Amino acid sequence: MRTVYVNGDYLPEDQAKVSVFDRGFLFADAVYEVTSVLDGKIIAFDGHVERLARSLAELGMDMPMSPEALLDIHRELVARNAIDEGLIYLQVSRGAADRDFAYPAADTPQTVVLFTQAKAGLADAPMAKTGMKVISIPDRRWGRRDIKTVQLLYPSMGKMLAKDAGVHDAWMVEDGAVTEGTSNNAYIVKDGTIITRHLGEEILHGITRKAVLAYAAEAQMKVEERAFTLAEAQAADEAFITSASTFVMPVVEIDGVPVGSGEPGPVAARLREIYLDESRKAAV
């Protein structure tokens, strides 16, 4: 049985509980991070903690503890659950309080939960060789997508629409431009230039995105951070996504239209390789 961390305790998962009055449960008043584990080590930890602090600050919450203390919990769970490859999920909510739209007193104890999910073959995912197919859907999420809240119902609906259409994911479109995938950032490659939407409140500022763009620049690849349309994506040479759990994953079809050759492209393959190599080196 897995060991789960809840508010200072390491518990068997069937004893890990939070209050029905938790604001994460009642109002989605909580933020989260998902960090991957390769070879038993944590990938891009600093980036995830920085973003956690930012998400909390945007919602008027403090960090529940120091980055060092958070790292200790991550490592303890990896050890206790013997995770070689997998994910660590972290959630911080505003805590339990009488149901009221107004935030409770600032000294209300936050709820801090972490758990692991073993995922053998994360780095060696077969889909990296075959590529994924996506459909497009309108982006109907709220306007502060840069805050990583647990308010994930629309992305879940998007995943189900993709599943029903027999594909792997959905790219969301707003005002004629692609924002991002349901749980990943979206990219196209045209004439050797990597194009991905600029940062703003419309997308999540992916930790993998930041690293991949830095590696692309180091490798002398051209990068443009700007909005792109679905038509542009369908006419691109390549497409791919990034996220903490998929790293870099090629996209080979959008709304039934093959992208480029319809096979995973060389830019995505190269970036995946660089990202995995560099991340493994920097893992903690």
Q: In the window 69-108, what residues touch ligand PLP (CB under 6 A)?
A: none
- Closer residue to ligand PLP in complex, CB, 3/184: 184
Alpha carbon of residue 266 to chain centroid: 23
Q: Which stretch binds ligand PLP (CB under 6 A): 12-20, 87-95, 105-113, 241-249?
A: 241-249
Told to check if 169 binds ligand PLP by CB under 6 A, we report no
**Angle at the Cα of 22 from the Cα atoms of 20 and 24, rounded to 5 degrees:** 120
Rounded least distance, CB 242 to ligand PLP, Å: 6
Told to check if 196 binds ligand PLP by CB under 6 A, we report no
Tell me how long the chain is.
Answer: 284
Told to check if 244 binds ligand PLP by CB under 6 A, we report yes
Asked about 159 being catalytic, the answer comes back as no
Q: Which stretch binds ligand PLP (CB under 6 A): 76-84, 126-134, 190-198, 238-246?
A: 238-246
Looking at the chain, list the stretches that DSSP marks H as alpha helix, in order from N- to C-terminal side.
23-27, 45-58, 67-80, 127-130, 153-164, 207-218, 230-234, 266-282
Handedness of CA 196, 163, 174, 260 (dihedral sign): positive
- The binding track of 128-167 with respect to ligand PLP, each residue x by CB under 6 A or -, is ----------------------------------------
Told to check if 184 binds ligand PLP by CB under 6 A, we report yes
The only residue of 81, 93, 149, 185 in contact with ligand PLP, by rule CB under 6 A: 185
Q: In the window 199-218, what residues touch ligand PLP (CB under 6 A)?
A: 204, 206-209
The only residue of 81, 91, 151, 183 in contact with ligand PLP, by rule CB under 6 A: 183
* φ, ψ for residue 186, nearest 5 deg: -110, 145
Q: How many of the other CB atoms lie within 10 Å of CB of 37?
A: 25
Bridge partners of 189, per DSSP, are 194, 238
Dist. CA 239–CA 245, nearest whole Å: 18
Residues in Cβ contact with 51 at an 8 Å cutoff, skipping those fewer than 6 apart: 33, 148, 205, 207
Could you say which of 148, 190, 210, 222 is catalytic?
A: 148
Instruction: Give the DSSP H or E segment for 200.
Output: none
Rounded least distance, CB 175 to ligand PLP, Å: 17
Residues that bind ligand PLP (CB under 6 A): 34, 180, 183-185, 204, 206-209, 242-244
Name the residues annotated as catalytic: 148
